Amino acid sequence: MPAANRLGVPRLCTFARQASESAQTRALHETGLGSRPAGSPTLTLMSLIAIGSDHAGFELKQHFIGVLQADGHDVLDHGTHSTAAVDYPEICAAVGRTVRNGGAAVGIVIGGSGQGEQLAANKVHGVRAALCNDLYTARMARQHNDANVLSIGGRVVGTGLAEEILRLFLSTPFEGGRHLRRVEQLMQIERDETARANDHTNDNTNDNTNDHDHREF
């Protein structure tokens, strides 16, 4: 698989940035989703975003790259780079690893429905990928689940709605509080399952070693 391509543009002027944020605020109110608390951290001003898609999500990925660059983000493009059929799991896992390893503030994975892409990204430990094909889910994914990867279906939502979902996901802060406790519980389940899997692997290795030793005697 070709290496990810980092795309960057100069930051927008202050006026353009304020206009962009004002548009996001209007969209929140118009859709009945409220407004973000003053001073709460969001992903809107983060500098680097990792993105990847399969062939079904390629056109939306290219559109998102343009939107993100226009909003002042740098974009790390993990492919694919055409509409030729391709398998999505490794592309989405690469996006997830980039986020997990601190190489990007947030990740975006795009497919036909976004379902498989979400599953693939979530196989990477430390990733909380959320499938968001509507505005409410996009807001809750960030506000309650502290999602760090957005999955979206290029064959499910139109370009205009997809752009609103993207901006809402990036502009919504994690609420913390009781939700922080629940997110920590989710991550503890992941750690526990990893430990069990490692123990099972070690047990199998020991059994195989004992069988080998027995045959030698």
214 part of the active site: no
Counting every residue written for the chain, the total comes to 217
Q: Is 187 helix (H, G, I), strand (E, B) or coil?
A: helix
Q: What percent of the chain has pLDDT over 70?
A: 74
Torsions phi, psi for 151 (to 5 deg): -110, 140
Q: For residue 41, give every residue at least 6 positions away whose Cβ sits within 8 Å of its Cβ, in sequence order, or none.
A: 173, 174
pLDDT in tens, 160-210: 999 999 999 999 999 999 999 999 999 999 999 999 988 877 766 666 555
Return the pLDDT at 197.
Answer: 87
Active-site position among 55, 78, 144, 164: 144
pLDDT at 139 over 60: yes
Pairing, β 74-77 against β 5-7: antiparallel
Give the count of beta carbons closer than 10 Å to the beta carbon of residue 175: 17
Q: Model pTM?
A: 0.76
Contact 56, 111 (CB under 8 A): yes
193 has catalytic annotation = no
- Active-site residue, from 55, 73, 78, 117: 117
* Structural element, H or E, at residue 163: helix 159-171
When pLDDT is cut at 50, 70 and 90, the band that residue 37 belongs to is very low
Q: What is the pLDDT of residues 107-117, one digit of tens each?
A: 999 999 999 99
